[in-house]
Structure 1
């Protein structure tokens, strides 16, 4: 039988969940300084989960959530927290992770760049298919604190209403079919994920259905055609792209992905306005089905503009690592002498070349491959500036070593994980770099995630 207890919350975990004073219980949906009635859940590593049943004494910072799925849905952790306090909390996260570097280097700590409108900001969302033992079907986001369980999505205020319409339409299509949700442990079932994207300032919408690569569960032609028709009925947008992605797994081999266009253009186009050198520069950006693009278009403009304005770009040689579709590098090329980009994902490299051509940038080149390996092969002379925007894991030892050998005068380090960012910068400080500016940017309102810009100069 479930046990309920009353406790007073004290602080927040890295997942945005309230902790009791002893930090032994993690409460989903509570804020610091609240008295709450909770139902005790399973023990996870160091802490036990607590499911909020009633807020007995609410925090003055508590806010009425818009979405009916709060706090069950894992997509939002802070929708019940007034936005200005979210920004304050995220600033404190950056200060905490950079505490030692701030003490040593005394960098300029700039105010966090928040969203003017913190609702319906995402341009991309991935939804999961799931079934329970009774055969009940679910399509949506993961339940908070429930491993592998999916919430049937009815609404979401992080994305436009069209996303919810797509989920509802695909759910109805799935209910009428004999298709099953994919089960990883047995490599059985058909449907894995549904990825939905749209341009916020450009042109196009995109839907991609990811299915199992197990030939025993291959979709029939009629099933693919009915899925395509289902998506087309969700919008009148003539620039609607529909893809089927096959995810193939095999023991001892890397996972492989194969994309098949079903209808519409092979990409969508987003438009960004980057402020640089006293001017606003307009860039059209190609987004292919598997390419990375910042999920918050409006905040991406602020992120790129703020970062590039820190640099001495005029007549500089710039190296753009983990460049993706290369919008940072292409923007820098407006003032720089030369920009060289490196990116592993071949789809992003194709997009970068398209972006270069469409935006008429001549002084930019790109190389595909692992950053560490490509740097080793290129054997470049020391650039004036290096821009890095690595994955959450940060720069690996090989990339850090090559960056140290390159010895640029300036480094712009953009990260979605201040913890690994601070650890990397501490290593760079050992070889003579000084942290000059920190600039947090909130790209993900109502979540615990924070983007951060760090500007470094060589001593």
Structure 2
């Protein structure tokens, strides 16, 4: 590897420090670099480098808590002062939406996170093995192509997560099993760990290969359960699942779940504007990974809307969290979600929170909207809520929005890049962006959540 000098001038979209270096025509992306750093780096590829020595400390640099920083790909900004993280995220949102800024547009200041450590309620860890058979269970190295390191600690979650990883690693060594490989051999794929921040519920799910020759036997499964229970202060409240992932070439991947121990779900609670709401979370259902900050997110979204509304339509509804939050300002709410497991949880959540004005529909957003429109009794929504995956709205969803033409669209996004792209498609059809609220859901990472309100003019 070649050594070079590099002065960090900005951040890469993945959080790396970026700067020019003598002898290189393109800027270098330095893992762990901070704006204002002067560094001696080792250049691994044409543009990627690692810090060998810091010759001048950035005023925005701080000491990370975690021993894995900055090489861990889980969070790239532990070495960046938190207030500077917020400034960088606010600036990023401003740059992405600069072309939308008009007199009626309000870009609010980013909502900071009160708890910047141990804020997550879910992590997914990977199993891996090298050619010599050495075992790795943890997260992915930053800048690597899927290389896993053995995780010892993680400051984004409670210490229980690390205890689970340690016990599963011991079980793995004794089990005789191998990690799953891309050639569809091996058994162990991923380990998902969840812990409620408002109840004592915990959940662990081991994902394994669906090939019969790599199946776990009864003894291996029982030993896995026992290792997990060793970590728990209340073993009876730990939900344990085995998920079988069947990947057959030329066919859609299938998943099968086995409930091994404890309750078949966990509960999480959110306090939204003084009201406590309870949500059931199944092992594969999506729920906001930072519940305390989700309370700020949902409260802010609710405050952006001037109620009451006759009909709110919630697309990509998941477990109907937003539908339940917004039911208080609507005569009627309709939620559409494709995942049947999430729909089942949504219906339970509706009952748990005594919501009477919510209808939950399972199916594809585009086709279900068409079915609703063809119903003679259908009341067109005056507000549509969308909270899509990172890829943004698909063509069917955009088409559905334009056909429904609600007076307002509330677009919540975990990826402001795709959100800006989608809003650009909606604006020529009469919509204007009137409010944008950035939210810091994930301190020490580059990720930004944004609430956008569009209004039909």
TM band (smaller chain): over 0.9
1:191 aligns with 2:185: no
Alignment of 1:129-148 (within 5 A): 129-148=127-146
Match of 1:25 in 2: 28
Alignment match of 2:452 (pick from 451, 454, 457): 454
Match of 1:236 in 2: 233
- Using a 3 Å threshold, how does the CA distance of structure 1 residues 23 and 339 change in structure 2: closer, same or farther? farther
Alignment of 1:74-85 (within 5 A): 74-85=73-84
3-state SS of 2:233 partner: coil
Match of 2:403 in 1: 405
Distance (Å, rounded) in 2 between the aligned partners of 1:316 and 1:157: 44
**Cα offset for 1:6?**
1.2
CA displacement, residues 414-439 of structure 1 (integer Å, 9 cap, x when unaligned)? 00010110111111111111111110
Match of 1:6 in 2: 5
Alignment of 1:58-457 (within 5 A): 58-102=57-101, 104=102, 106-184=104-182, 186-237=183-234, 238-275=236-273, 280-379=274-373, 380-457=378-455
**Cα offset for 1:315?**
4.2
CA displacement, residues 4-45 of structure 1 (integer Å, 9 cap, x when unaligned)? 1111111111100011136531110001221111111124xx
Give the gaps of 5 or more residues in structure 2: none
**Cα offset for 1:91?**
0.7
3-state SS of 1:404 partner: helix
Match of 2:37 in 1: 34
The worse-fitting range, judged by mean Cα deviation, of 378-387 and 226-235 is 378-387
CA displacement, residues 338-376 of structure 1 (integer Å, 9 cap, x when unaligned)? 000001111110010000011110100011111111111
CA displacement, residues 80-134 of structure 1 (integer Å, 9 cap, x when unaligned)? 00100001111111111111011x4651111111111200000000000011111
Distance (Å, rounded) in 1 between the aligned partners of 2:415 and 2:259: 34
Give the gaps of 5 or more residues in structure 1: none
Distance (Å, rounded) in 1 between the aligned partners of 2:88 and 2:215: 47
CA displacement, residues 156-204 of structure 1 (integer Å, 9 cap, x when unaligned)? 00000000000011111111221001001x1000100000001101341
Distance (Å, rounded) in 1 between the aligned partners of 2:310 and 2:16: 45
Distance (Å, rounded) in 1 between the aligned partners of 2:68 and 2:164: 18
3-state SS of 2:252 partner: strand
Give TM-score scaled by structure 2 length: 0.96
CA displacement, residues 284-316 of structure 1 (integer Å, 9 cap, x when unaligned)? 000000000010000111101100111123142
Distance (Å, rounded) in 2 between the aligned partners of 1:423 and 1:170: 42
Distance (Å, rounded) in 1 between the aligned partners of 2:209 and 2:45: 31
Distance (Å, rounded) in 2 between the aligned partners of 1:111 and 1:98: 14
**Cα offset for 1:233?**
0.5
Distance (Å, rounded) in 1 between the aligned partners of 2:41 and 2:170: 35
Give TM-score scaled by structure 1 length: 0.96
The worse-fitting range, judged by mean Cα deviation, of 257-266 and 427-436 is 427-436
- Using a 3 Å threshold, how does the CA distance of structure 1 residues 39 and 340 change in structure 2: closer, same or farther? same
Distance (Å, rounded) in 2 between the aligned partners of 1:192 and 1:299: 30
CA displacement, residues 39-85 of structure 1 (integer Å, 9 cap, x when unaligned)? 11124xxxx21011111111001000000111111111000001000
RMSD: 1.1
3-state SS of 1:222 partner: helix
The worse-fitting range, judged by mean Cα deviation, of 428-437 and 377-386 is 377-386
3-state SS of 1:424 partner: helix
